[in-house]
Amino acid sequence: GAVVSQHPSWVICKSGTSVKIECRSLDFQATTMFWYRQFPKQSLMLMATSNEGSKATYEQGVEKDKFLINHASLTLSTLTVTSAHPEDSSFYICSARGWGQGADTQYFGPGTRLTVL
Amino acid sequence: GESVGLHLPTLSVQEGDNSIINCAYSNSASDYFIWYKQESGKGPQFIIDIRSNMDKRQGQRVTVLLNKTVKHLSLQIAATQPGDSAVYFCAVGAGGYNKLIFGAGTRLAVHP
């Protein structure tokens, strides 16, 4: 239980374009989803908390106009990186809060590797 | 603010031995603690969690110990297997399951 998927698993785009990443909870409903980014050999950094039907809460230093988050349903949240630049290249991981594996906690998707040329 | 760190960045063990991965946290208000396992190129996988009203919790081949006095938790893996090779992160929350702060991670390398 508590399976989270992400699409795409990897994407390469040109500088200045926008990229949308989808995060889905497959077997549970998630009122709260989270978006993290992870640079190579580093830990996960929380970017924003996404609540279904309301605006996302962004962490300090994360530009909300650059990283657009939409949580339109209880099973889907999207992250759009607008006007992407090479410094936005990273591993983006979402998580969803739900019950599974005997715990009410955050379960993570497989991640999306973004490379901006 | 919260900071979470790990004592050992890399841990090498022999297959079959027990592994202990440590984590320190700074916020005494932290009340929820989780261990995740992350394999290369994948998202973190939930291993085990513990709340601040407990000091020990056991799962399948894993045990988490929490020492609130010194703000330290550990993950013990019994009979370590090659499939346990990964990076292990502790994550700490205050006030529940939201806003987790992740530690730097420890790489566990299991040798045959």
Q: Is the pLDDT of residue B48 over 90?
A: yes
From B87's Cα to the closest Cα of chain A, the distance in A is 9
From B66's Cα to the closest Cα of chain A, the distance in A is 17
Residue A8, preceding peptide bond in cis (omega within 30° of 0): yes
Residue A62: the pLDDT is: 96
DSSP character string of B32-96: EEEEEEE-TTS--EEEEEEETT-SEEE-SSEEEEEETTTTEEEEEESS--GGG-EEEEEEEESSS
Taking contacts as CB-CB distances below 8 angstroms, the residues of chain A near B98 are 32, 34, 49, 97
The pLDDT confidence band at residue B14, using thresholds 50, 70 and 90, is very high
Distance CA A57, CA A66 (A): 14
Contact check, Cβ <8 Å, A97/B104? no
- B33-42: pLDDT as tens digits: 999 999 999 9
Residue B40: the pLDDT is: 92
Contact check, Cβ <8 Å, B42/A43? no
Distance CA B22, CA B82 (A): 20
Taking contacts as CB-CB distances below 8 angstroms, the residues of chain B near A95 are 43-44
Contact check, Cβ <8 Å, A109/B99? no
Q: Which residues, given as ranges, of chain A have pLDDT below 70? A: none
> How many residue pairs bridge chain A and chain B with CB atoms within 8 Å of each other?
54
From A99's Cα to the closest Cα of chain B, the distance in A is 12
The pLDDT confidence band at residue B98, using thresholds 50, 70 and 90, is confident
The pLDDT confidence band at residue B107, using thresholds 50, 70 and 90, is very high
Q: What share of chain B is helix, strand, coil (3-state, %, to 5)?
A: 5, 55, 45
Taking contacts as CB-CB distances below 8 angstroms, the residues of chain A near B95 are none
CB of B98 within 8 Å of a chain A CB? The answer is yes
From B105's Cα to the closest Cα of chain A, the distance in A is 6
The pLDDT confidence band at residue B25, using thresholds 50, 70 and 90, is very high
Contact check, Cβ <8 Å, A105/B36? no
- B55-65: pLDDT as tens digits: 999 999 999 99
CB nearest B34 (choices: A43, A105, A109): A105
The pLDDT confidence band at residue B95, using thresholds 50, 70 and 90, is low
The pLDDT confidence band at residue B3, using thresholds 50, 70 and 90, is low
- A71-101: pLDDT as tens digits: 889 899 999 999 999 999 999 999 999 887 7
